Amino acid sequence: MAKDSDTVAQAKKVPIEPTHFSYTERDVIIYNLGIGATEKDLQWTYEGDDEFSALPTFGVVPQFMASSTLPLDSWLPDFNPAKLLHGEQFLSIKAPIPTSGELVNNARLFEILDKGKAAAVTSIVETRDKSGTLIFENHSTVFIRGSGGFGGARVGSDRGPATAVNAVPKRAPDAVVEEKTSSSQAALYRMSGDVNPLHILPEFAAIGGFDKPILHGLCSMGISGKHVFQKFGPYKDIKVRFAGVVYPGETLVTEMWKEGPSVIFTTKVKERDTLVLASAAATLVDGATKARL
């Protein structure tokens, strides 16, 4: 692998202050609603339910400010936030998810790749509770169009399930779930912390080259992660590559294949027959969880 350029090597050395995240059961419910839970799903939308819980992909929420506020503009050439696209996300769930609490995030720049016409930046955030117990680990990769050319590595390192290709088996899926998003899905999901105007402001979306505001990639990930959970039970990690955009109001179709301890899945927009989540998989808890078909 190519050696980091001086610019990248220096960026990696800059200390990143921890960020704190406090939340209540109300925040859990808002997140669950934001990825399509309904009034019928009392375990996700009523705090008094005996099985009240956060959906597994809630793990992307506490770390969000830590991974999204890295000082990219201080060293990346021609940085434009409207040209930033979320490329991949990997979430590892290390402990039971509290339904309220105070968490601490420690972020670090892991890898910065020069793709020529773009930069690919991967950060890793560890999220712990006040006792120091590791709850979540997130790997986030973003692509910044127009910010390449700074030199250094072009190909990333192997991070196991976080970078796995997850090729789709050559057989019919074991489960398929369709879910129509709401026209206000992005407006609701942004209440969980991702307030990028790309998802609400038409003129900002236009700068990014989109006809109208798009749904958050992490929202699509959460909806599909919910489908995996509903069909195959709990999982300990989940990874997706964001392959296309979703407009609020479109229908997501998640196709799932059980392969050993994992569920490989893809997600497409039904109306446009367009792939939006690829190279995706979740590793089931205890590996052989019986499918809930």
Active site residues per annotation: 194, 199, 214, 217
CA distance 290 to 20: 37
Q: Strand locations in the chain, DSSP E? A: 19-23, 84-93, 101-114, 118-129, 134-145, 175-180, 235-242, 251-259, 262-269, 274-284
Tokens of 212: 């109208």
Q: Which residue do the tokens 């929202």 mark?
A: 219
What are the helix (H) ranges across 166-252?
Answer: 185-189, 202-207, 217-232
Angstrom distances, CA of residue 14 to CA of 69, 76, 89, 286? 14, 14, 23, 39
Q: Do residues 153 and 4 make contact, with C-beta atoms less than 8 angstroms apart? A: yes
CA distance 189 to 195: 9
CA distance 86 to 221: 12
CA distance 222 to 59: 10
CB-count exposure of residue 207 (10 Å: 0-12, 13-18, 19+): middle
Q: Torsion-angle region of residue 243: left (phi > 0), alpha (psi -120 to 50) or beta?
A: alpha
CA distance 205 to 154: 28
CB-count exposure of residue 120 (10 Å: 0-12, 13-18, 19+): buried
